[in-house]
A = this chain, B = another copy of it.
Amino acid sequence: MQHIFYFADLFGVAVFAITGALMAGRKSMDLFGVLVIAIITALGGGTLRDLILDNHPVSWIRNDTYILVASLASLGTVVWVRMTQPIHERGLLIADAFGLAVFTVIGTEVALQHNVPYSTAVIMGVITGVAGGVMRDVICNEIPLIFQKEIYATACIVGSLVFIAMRALDTPHWLDTGLAMLIVLLIRLAAIHWRLGLPRFHLLDRD
């Protein structure tokens, strides 16, 4: 079980790194920029969570597999795009939904281990899932997509709540983890498929 979780985590790192590399490519960055944006996208959310929770050492500073996976994924993206033009957008979105599911559950679990209130655990799940992408967008000078697009963070919130509820019921670990991830995944896939979104808040600028 622990192994599956670890590999799922690394898969999430790889997928998020790819989305970072693609954004860097859209901004015509050089290879170093691609690498940095990819690493920040993949590891930024978990790092921010660990700093706020005082959960040291931050995972990737002791185990260099994380950085290695993010680097390889981003370089692989550059090679892939150079060789064959098309990116399978939908495939990437689905992979990203899977990464989001893994990160959300991991973030919520780490927070629960620090005995914080449930609301904080949900926030830590959301931070782990989305903060890397927000950093990517901010550094690349874009307003973060997740604040404007279809339901994204909402999937995190629901998945995190389900995870917390099931942990409180003391269900087997594979069941709460699996179900919470599945729910994040399904909400994201439904949102992508039917282009579901939250209501927007439009405020006219009258300055």
Contact = CB atoms under 8 A, between A and B. Distances in A.
A116 interface: yes
Interface stretch (A1-9, A54-62, A90-98, A164-172): A54-62
Contacts of A47: 52
A141 B139 contact: no
Interface in A83-125: 114, 116-117, 119-120, 123
Nearest to A116: B61
Given A54-B57, A116-B62, A31 B199 contact: yes
Contact of A120 (B34, B64, B197, B203): B64
From A116, A139, A200, A201, residue with most partner B Cβ within 10 Å: A201
Contacts of A180: none
A103 B88 CA distance: 41
Interface residues of A, number: 61
B51 A153 contact: no
A138 interface: yes
A190 interface: no
B199 A120 contact: no
A13 B52 CA distance: 18
B51 A203 contact: no
A192 interface: no
A186 interface: no
Contacts of A61: 52-53, 114, 116-117, 120
Contacts of A138: 138-139, 141
A123 B198 CA distance: 38
30 contacts: A25-B201, A27-B148, A28-B148, A29-B143, A29-B147, A30-B147, A30-B199, A30-B200, A31-B201, A32-B146, A32-B154, A33-B148, A36-B153, A51-B52, A54-B57, A54-B58, A57-B116, A61-B114, A61-B117, A61-B120, A62-B116, A62-B117, A68-B119, A78-B201, A134-B139, A138-B139, A139-B144, A140-B143, A141-B142, A141-B143
